[in-house]
Structure 1
Amino acid sequence: MSTTVAAARGPIDPNLLALSTPVRRWIFVAGVLTTLNVAATITLGLAIGITVARVLGEGDPAWPLFAAVSLTAAAAKVACSWALTRFGEAVGAEAASTLRADALRALALKDPRTVDLSAWRATLTVGIDGVAVYIAEFLPSIVAAALATPIALFTVAFLDLYSFAIAAVTLPLVPLFMWLVGRLTEGRTERRLADIGTVRSQILDLITGLPTLRAHGIASAPDAEIRRLSEQHRDSSMAVLRVAFLSSMVLEFLTTLSIALIAVSIGFRLLDGSSTLSTGLAVLIIAPEIYAPIRAVGHKFHAAQDGLVAAREVTALLSAPSPVASEESSASGTEVAPTVEFRDFSAPGRDGCRPYLLSAVAGPGRVTVLAGPNGVGKTTALLAAAGIVTENLCGQVRVTVHGPELLRRIAWVPQRPVLDPASIGDDSRRSLGQRQRQALQLALSDPSRNLVLADEPTAHLDSDSAREVIDSLRERARRGATVLVSSHDPLLIDAADDVVEVRAK
């Protein structure tokens, strides 16, 4: 699923900012809070430096002023830190939820044959969860590095040029090392997400097939494969963690050594009298603020890598044109049901053409059945009629309405429907047949959706329930809808107005 665009390879994804107004506002708010926070730190450093120096003999300390300034600065730092955490988490959770919903809507319009389900499962779960961390923690650290570090650096330059020179020389080493680590970590994180998707997909397949394995007495056969997948996931996760721990150690070493050099320089100049104690103390308090934001970027970078990779994948998906949404509606304004026509329609794939040279017409007022055994491409034909399957097709699929109008007219009933708990309650205890009947009832309840596409609507029903479903479909056709279904159920085939045999090659 390498859909990442080249323009989004930096630590900030411009596509994410373009898609999310709350994130853009959050970056501005984080900038204001960061500026206030570093200003409070500088104020507190100056107040402590001057007061301590006066206590040690450089003058009489102004205790009331010191208390007022220190308490105000400390309160400002606490308030800014709380606001950065509180608002960051809220914006991150909102953006992650919005991205997940937008991605699901976009994937619903893509050709399902081209969607890597295992990769997108990992992206929309573990990856999107990391987007909240990316927005709440990593973006504010980037803003702090862009604002707090220059402010602290120029304050040190104003107070002590020697300390400024040491900081100016050592500071670039930190982002240079972070860039090198980032290039290494990014590929490992992408591989880890891919491994998560593979593990989940294959374990779900094993669980789905477990009744069959038990029926044949080989339920323990997948043990070796599960162990292999688990070890693969463990190895990829440990590779990311090793790099994260190593980079954190080196970042701490570089920043600690840099601050120590500044402290040693101040100590020597205090001995020879070329610097005052108040200036030295103030610089020592402010100097860590030069390195802390950049060090925080390095720490947050590893925690946000899942989110950064997922954000790139999702924004690339959302930026791609939708073949359905990009077409203009050709509806004439009437509500006559659409007509669907296949002309020598074929869908080539790895296993041949499924279907192969399908020709059929489904018109208003009629029930048309695409008949044939499993695996000949009946579902693919329905998805092509809905405008969802669009790639690598041969022949023609013509529908008399297009684009958003087509989506508005379709009543889609898949073979394994997922129902909305908000509208029908908990469906976890419903059988597949019950869910299928409920989905059909909901689809047929909207009279404006007059193109009914149903995939094996009677496959999981007993004969009495199947006849009720068939009657519902025929009644909907009698009222003018175009009903196109796939089935190999003799009851449904006998009740159809038109039956088209679908074959594969």
Structure 2
Amino acid sequence: MSTPQTKGPVDPRLLRLSPATRRWIFLAGILTALKTLSTVAMGLLIGQMTAGIIETPGSSLPRTELIALAIAVGARGVLAWAQDRFAERASTQVTVDLREKTLRHLAHSDPRTIDQALWRTRLTSGLDGLGPYLTGFFPALAATIIATPVMLAVVGWLDVGSMIIAIITLPLIPVFMWLVGTLTAGRTEQRLHDLAVLSGQLLDLIAGLPTLRAFRRHQDMATQVKRLSSQHASSTMSVLKIAFLSSFVLEFLATLSVALVAVGIGFRLLSGDLTLAIGLTVLVIIPEVYAPIRDVGTRFHDAQDGLVATDEVLKLLSTPLLIDAPSTLNRRSLAGGLEVSVEKLRAEGRDGPRPADLSFIASPGQLTVLWGPNGSGKSTALLAVLGLATEGISGEISVKDASGQEFKDSSLWEHCTYLPQRPVIDPESVSDYAELSLGQRQRLALKRELGATLLLLDEPTAHLDPENAAIMIKQLQEEARQGTTVLAVSHDPLLRAAADKVVEVK
């Protein structure tokens, strides 16, 4: 298991791939700068007004300064509200954008190489952790870059001695943050890995529960689930322990630093080297010098899940797609159709080649069925024709039209439709999508994809009763009669009986 690559607090890959992140960075910088100015105005006004009351007992508050203070406080409140509002909106946009791009990339990758349990965790609870990064960690980082230098400059303008103390104590917090961050990153990735293993095990257990109950072995899995749950709880607690310890130390360092400045101001007030107005103003502003850096350390742990998952997502998105498929299918038919020729196709795996030396020709106007037992490599053959399966693949595959022109990659996808065993239908176009059974989804997906020159189907009748399976088979036969090349994977005797050509897959 690899540790996340160090890309700095803001990953340049995220900026490059997510326009919403770039917009939020620009907006957060503006809001942080305005908040900093309002905070400085509040500090100066509070210091001056408090010193006037102390030095002149019984005097009333200056009306002009009181109105200015109210405006500064109101402005800071409005800016804080705007920052939270836009941060939540940006977080949602970035998360949805990354999920969409990642799913599209995975959909055009070799499914045999995808760890579904791990990616399920990364795209759900993992990317959900990106919210605290964008809404908490990033604004705190922006404040560190903008507010801390400005506040430090204001303190230096008021009192050089306090600025020197702040400059000496400030580096302690980033050094400790780096030490904690190095330790936390690896443990957070381990926690996500344990969660992925646990979720995958539970899903497998639920799927196989009827079989386990039939053989009275379902109780044996309880021990395994308890062990995985205990492992996940242990890794989670290790992260929480570090988070608690680091938060305590960060608060202690920030409080101690402010206390050192306050002690210095107190001694100089007693000696008469500093006015009360300046001393009070510095005491009001100096916590704001440390607050952004302290918040960065505190928010760092909240953002770790998102940063670890985002690092893996950005690694995936940085790799080129196997096929840059068009977003919409080109329905223009090709004269003469497309002929699929496969010669000695082999797909090496842990259990040997599946399929092994598979050869066939799927011609236009015919329903060709790849027939064989589960695990023989039928689905892999379809993926190889599409260009999605590349690892361990050997043999010759060509898709040509009547003139001999070869189609591959994106040019092939423009004239081809692939219907997997579990098709995904756009929920925006089907309001009751969640209510559809898997068989209904297959029928609806096939109906929408008819009209392509090449039709590839993986177990199209697997989830249908005989009556609906006969309806689908009739649709496939009619599509073949219109000149379409129909290539289906199946072990359904009904589809085999209706096929124009049956290819045994061993």
TM score, norm. by length of structure 1: 0.93
Question: Are 1:67 and 2:93 counterparts?
Answer: no
Question: Are 1:359 and 2:362 counterparts?
Answer: no
The structural deviation recorded for 1:65 is 2.0
Aligned residues: 494
CA distance in 2, matches of 1:57, 1:458: 89
The structural deviation recorded for 1:77 is 1.0
Contact 1:51/1:61 (<8 A) preserved: no
CA distance in 1, matches of 2:60, 2:295: 35
CA distance in 1, matches of 2:184, 2:139: 21
SS of residue matched to 1:352: coil
Contact 2:3/2:185 (<8 A) preserved: no
CA distance in 2, matches of 1:366, 1:2: 49
Question: Are 1:217 and 2:216 counterparts?
Answer: yes
Counterpart position of 2:53:
55
Contact 2:333/2:453 (<8 A) preserved: no
Contact 1:192/1:233 (<8 A) preserved: yes
Counterpart position of 1:350:
350
CA distance in 1, matches of 2:132, 2:363: 52
SS of residue matched to 2:204: helix
Q: Which aligned pairs between 1:14-413 and structure 2 lie closer than 5 A?
A: 14-57=12-55, 63-325=62-324, 335-336=334-335, 337-399=337-399, 400-413=406-419
Contact 1:13/1:311 (<8 A) preserved: no
SS of residue matched to 1:323: coil
The structural deviation recorded for 1:428 is 4.6
CA distance in 2, matches of 1:112, 1:46: 62
CA distance in 1, matches of 2:388, 2:366: 23
The amino acid across from 2:453 in the alignment is: N
SS of residue matched to 1:345: strand
Contact 1:371/1:486 (<8 A) preserved: yes
The structural deviation recorded for 1:489 is 2.2
The structural deviation recorded for 1:61 is 7.1
Counterpart position of 2:7:
9
SS of residue matched to 1:339: strand
The amino acid across from 2:227 in the alignment is: R
CA distance in 1, matches of 2:415, 2:133: 40
The structural deviation recorded for 1:29 is 1.2
CA distance in 1, matches of 2:433, 2:47: 66
SS of residue matched to 1:204: helix
Question: Are 1:499 and 2:502 counterparts?
Answer: yes
Q: CA RMSD in A?
A: 2.1
Contact 1:3/1:313 (<8 A) preserved: no
SS of residue matched to 1:349: coil
Contact 1:11/1:308 (<8 A) preserved: no
The amino acid across from 1:167 in the alignment is: A
The amino acid across from 1:356 in the alignment is: A
Contact 2:386/2:409 (<8 A) preserved: no
SS of residue matched to 1:142: helix
The structural deviation recorded for 1:214 is 1.7
Contact 1:156/1:283 (<8 A) preserved: yes
Of the structure 1 ranges 414-423 and 214-223, higher mean CA displacement relative to structure 2 is found in 414-423
Contact 1:346/1:355 (<8 A) preserved: yes
SS of residue matched to 1:401: coil
Amino-acid identity (%): 50
The structural deviation recorded for 1:134 is 1.4
Change (3 A) 1:383 1:29: same
SS of residue matched to 1:209: helix
The amino acid across from 1:343 in the alignment is: E
The amino acid across from 1:22 in the alignment is: A
* Match among 465, 468, 473 for residue 468 of structure 2: 465
Contact 1:3/1:316 (<8 A) preserved: no
CA distance in 2, matches of 1:62, 1:493: 93
CA shift digits 1:327-372 (9 cap, x unpaired): 9xxx9x8624332221211111112111111111112211111111
Of the structure 1 ranges 251-260 and 426-435, higher mean CA displacement relative to structure 2 is found in 426-435
CA distance in 1, matches of 2:56, 2:339: 93
Counterpart position of 2:403:
none
Change (3 A) 1:168 1:207: same
Change (3 A) 1:18 1:145: same
Change (3 A) 1:374 1:298: same
* Match among 454, 458, 468 for residue 457 of structure 2: 454
Change (3 A) 1:249 1:453: same
Question: Are 1:479 and 2:485 counterparts?
Answer: no
The structural deviation recorded for 1:429 is 4.9
TM score, norm. by length of structure 2: 0.93
Of the structure 1 ranges 73-82 and 409-418, higher mean CA displacement relative to structure 2 is found in 409-418
CA distance in 2, matches of 1:474, 1:484: 11
SS of residue matched to 2:220: coil
Of the structure 1 ranges 128-137 and 277-286, higher mean CA displacement relative to structure 2 is found in 128-137
CA shift digits 1:43-85 (9 cap, x unpaired): 1111111222222227977611221221111011101110110
The amino acid across from 1:465 in the alignment is: N
The amino acid across from 1:43 in the alignment is: A
CA distance in 2, matches of 1:80, 1:370: 64
Structure 2, gaps ≥5 residues long: 400-405
SS of residue matched to 1:466: helix
SS of residue matched to 1:390: coil
Contact 1:346/1:353 (<8 A) preserved: yes
Of the structure 1 ranges 33-42 and 336-345, higher mean CA displacement relative to structure 2 is found in 336-345
Counterpart position of 2:432:
426
The amino acid across from 1:206 in the alignment is: L
CA shift digits 1:269-297 (9 cap, x unpaired): 11111111111101000100110000111
CA distance in 2, matches of 1:420, 1:214: 36
CA shift digits 1:429-480 (9 cap, x unpaired): 5444333333322322xx2x22111112223333333322221111111111
The amino acid across from 2:493 in the alignment is: P
SS of residue matched to 1:148: helix
The structural deviation recorded for 1:23 is 1.3
CA distance in 2, matches of 1:348, 1:171: 58
The structural deviation recorded for 1:172 is 0.5
Of the structure 1 ranges 292-301 and 450-459, higher mean CA displacement relative to structure 2 is found in 450-459
| Runs of 4 or more above 4 Å deviation | 1-4, 58-62, 427-431
The structural deviation recorded for 1:208 is 0.3
Contact 1:373/1:488 (<8 A) preserved: yes
SS of residue matched to 2:219: coil
Contact 1:54/1:61 (<8 A) preserved: no
Contact 1:368/1:499 (<8 A) preserved: yes
Question: Are 1:489 and 2:489 counterparts?
Answer: no
